[in-house]
Amino acid sequence: MAFTAVSCMDLDINVDPDTPTSTSGNVASRIPAIEFWMGHTHQTTGVFAALINQQITLSNRGDRYGSLAEWSATNNTASTYPYQAFFVGLGGTLPDVYAMAEKEGAYHYMGLVKLFRAMGFMVMSDVYGEMPYVNALTAEINPIYDDGKTIFNGVLAEIDAAIEFFKKTQESGATPLSDGDVWNGGDINKWIKLAYGMKARYLNNLSKKTDLYNPDAILAALENAPKSNADNTVIKHENAVVAQADHLWGDDVKTNYTYIWVMNWSRVYYVTKWYADILTNFDSKGIVDPRADKLIPSTQFKGGTEWFRTVGVDMQSNIRVGTNFRSPGTYNAQTKTWTVTATQDSTVVSLQTKGIHSPNYRDVAEDGVILNTGTFYARSDAPTHLLCYPEMCFIKAEVLFRKGDKAGAYTAYKEGIKAHIDLLNENLVDSDPNISKTKIPASDRDAYLSSAAIGTSNDLTLGKIMTQKFIALSFSNQNWNDMRRLDYGLAGGVAPGAYPGWAEPYEHATAFVDLKWIPAGKQYRRLGYVSHEFNYNNANLAASHKRALSDDIRSYPVWWDCATDEEYYGYIK
């Protein structure tokens, strides 16, 4: 009877139920892993960008990530991770999920796939330039490369397609988006706003191209993008583990992505002096930003009675070349003393904090003295601000400033600062011994917005807008995109002074590094190509750019970073 009951069921004896295939599961079950890897794709590039654009650094120049900070783009410099996170982590899954969703008329899931493709391929193009796109994620094992223009236009078309799918009513019986969506809990309006926000971001990256840059199109996209912090797409994280870690990195899945990078692999990261300065002396007014203690690590001295905020590592000095780089040292809870006395010119506090990945790290001493406050964006339970309203404000401010509307630009600029402070407060608390975890009082926020540091519409500059945007987008790849399209704000570029006080790293400027990677007078414009492509798709890689196999490929601009197609194709052909 048991045999008869089983044999009447529709079973395939050639399918092993313990070995999932590309068609296993349902459309909802595939989305959490896709969102996880998309988050990793964005934040991995965000950490690399933060090293290149001098938000953070390492003490060790010889480390492959430490070399990013000095623009020494050696072959050991990691370039595989963004590629691997997208193509291995989620890219190969997207065609199957799309087919599953299409079969049941789950249009909202089809929209997710279109948007994830757009976001992923844009990151690939942002950081690598040319990349397989049209024939990528297909059965073709050696896909040809597409140029940046093809990828950019394809991405915009996929965003438009995603928006149309999001706006459709799903077929009867189709899987509700809320069954699989972790990021926005199935809120289709947030997904539409995310898509329009990404569109505004990408269109604004065309600012060098006078024939394509369209301020009105950007403003139109912003009208449908997040209009308040309630519309944000924020990825929530926990200082917790799951029973089964992911298959690629062994990540415990729940913790913040930036924290994983900051605390893993025995590396010690610091903020730079430039980053600390723009939070403590913005526009050289000597006024401390109320966000400073949330974003800049501090430590307690004198038995917990005095705070010391790190001054940051001066990347425009020889501090990493010389021997005067040091941390506060070791704290003795019994004697309430440090082995090294903090001095304003030499002592820095790292980004390290305790969490699941760093259970043995001490950020609080036995007597309660806080050894390290850490930074908001790199704690294990910190949120990931994927695309949020403050960025939309700063995009609007830049566009209006370019249009000559300084009054409108100033209003958007101040709103962006206010919105970012309010966004931080959503994950801060009323009371905590750690000053980096307490809410910013509305009175402090308003006083800063009315201060001489923020100024008036009459003295608004592109430099003020972009620097405040940089703060709000800490650990975001978009900061590197902005810096490149504005030529880092350097003299002789398209926007001199766009990042006041910023200069290329001392080690690069003084040739302490091998200039074959980024020659003197050039800037860091892209990551080197991935070893997998060298090993398995070399012919197509070589054909994608005339410098593809050369060391100095990192100094060549991607498509949107060129003023004209003639300039771009002159580089790659």
pLDDT digits (tens, 9 = 90+) for 64-86: 888 899 998 766 565 788 899 99
Q: What is the pLDDT of residue 352?
A: 87
- Among 214-228, 354-368, 370-384, which stretch is predicted with the lowest mean pLDDT? 354-368
Q: What is the pLDDT of residue 8?
A: 40
Q: What average pLDDT does range 394-422 have in this prediction? A: 98
Q: What is the pLDDT of residue 439?
A: 98
In a domain, 404, yes or no: yes
Q: Give the length of the chain.
A: 573
In a domain, 501, yes or no: yes
Q: What average pLDDT does range 6-15 have in this prediction? A: 43
The values of phi and psi at residue 272, to 5°, are: -90, 165
Q: What is the pLDDT of residue 343?
A: 47
Three-state secondary structure call for residue 394: helix
- Among 221-225, 264-268, 538-542, which stretch is predicted with the lowest mean pLDDT? 264-268
Provide CB contacts within 8 A for 466, sequence distance 6+.
394, 398, 482, 486, 489, 498, 499
Question: What is the Cα Rg of the chain in Å?
Answer: 24
Q: Which residue has the higher pLDDT, 437 or 18?
A: 437
Rounded Cα gap, residues 325 and 420, in angstroms: 32
The values of phi and psi at residue 185, to 5°, are: 60, 25
Q: What is the pLDDT of residue 200?
A: 98
Q: What average pLDDT does range 316-342 have in this prediction? A: 63
Q: What average pLDDT does range 415-422 have in this prediction? A: 98
Q: What average pLDDT does range 514-519 have in this prediction? A: 90
Q: What average pLDDT does range 95-110 have in this prediction? A: 98
Rounded Cα gap, residues 543 and 552, in angstroms: 16
Both tokens assigned to 347: 């002592």
Three-state secondary structure call for residue 391: helix
pTM attached to this predicted model: 0.93
Tokens 């690590």 identify what position? 297
- Among 48-52, 117-121, 302-306, 437-441, which stretch is predicted with the lowest mean pLDDT? 302-306
Q: Kindly tell me if the per-residue pLDDT of 306 is higher than 90.
A: no
Q: What is the pLDDT of residue 303?
A: 63
List the one residue out of 507, 566, 423 whose CA is nearest residue 71: 507
Q: What average pLDDT does range 166-175 have in this prediction? A: 98
If you average pLDDT over each of 321-325, 363-367, 545-549, which comes out highest? Answer: 545-549
Confidence of residue 494 (pLDDT cuts 50, 70, 90): very high
In a domain, 399, yes or no: yes
List the one residue out of 365, 364, 417, 377 whose CA is nearest residue 271: 377
pLDDT tens profile 224-283: 999 999 999 999 999 887 655 555 555 556 889 999 888 876 788 999 999 999 999 999
Rounded Cα gap, residues 322 and 310, in angstroms: 19
In a domain, 449, yes or no: yes
In a domain, 77, yes or no: no
pLDDT tens profile 176-202: 999 999 999 999 999 999 999 999 999
Ramachandran assignment for 504, one of left (phi > 0), alpha (psi -120 to 50 degrees), beta (any other)? beta
In percent, the amount of the chain with pLDDT more than 70 equals 87
In a domain, 190, yes or no: no
Q: What is the pLDDT of residue 67?
A: 87
Confidence of residue 339 (pLDDT cuts 50, 70, 90): low
In a domain, 418, yes or no: yes
Confidence of residue 17 (pLDDT cuts 50, 70, 90): low
List the one residue out of 98, 118, 122 whose CA is nearest residue 108: 98
List the one residue out of 43, 64, 66 whose CA is nearest residue 474: 43
Question: Is the CB of residue 303 less than 8 Å from the CB of residue 337?
Answer: no
Q: Kindly tell me if the per-residue pLDDT of 503 is higher than 90.
A: yes
- For residue 345, give its domain range: 269-509
Q: Kindly tell me if the per-residue pLDDT of 97 is higher than 90.
A: yes
In a domain, 522, yes or no: no
Q: Kindly tell me if the per-residue pLDDT of 561 is higher than 50.
A: yes
Both tokens assigned to 86: 């997208």
Please tell me the total count of domains within the chain.
1
Q: What is the pLDDT of residue 346?
A: 45
Ramachandran assignment for 244, one of left (phi > 0), alpha (psi -120 to 50 degrees), beta (any other)? beta
Q: Which residue has the higher pLDDT, 362 or 345?
A: 362
**Average model confidence (pLDDT) for the chain?**
89
In percent, the amount of the chain with pLDDT more than 90 equals 71
Confidence of residue 437 (pLDDT cuts 50, 70, 90): very high
Q: Kindly tell me if the per-residue pLDDT of 285 is higher than 60.
A: yes
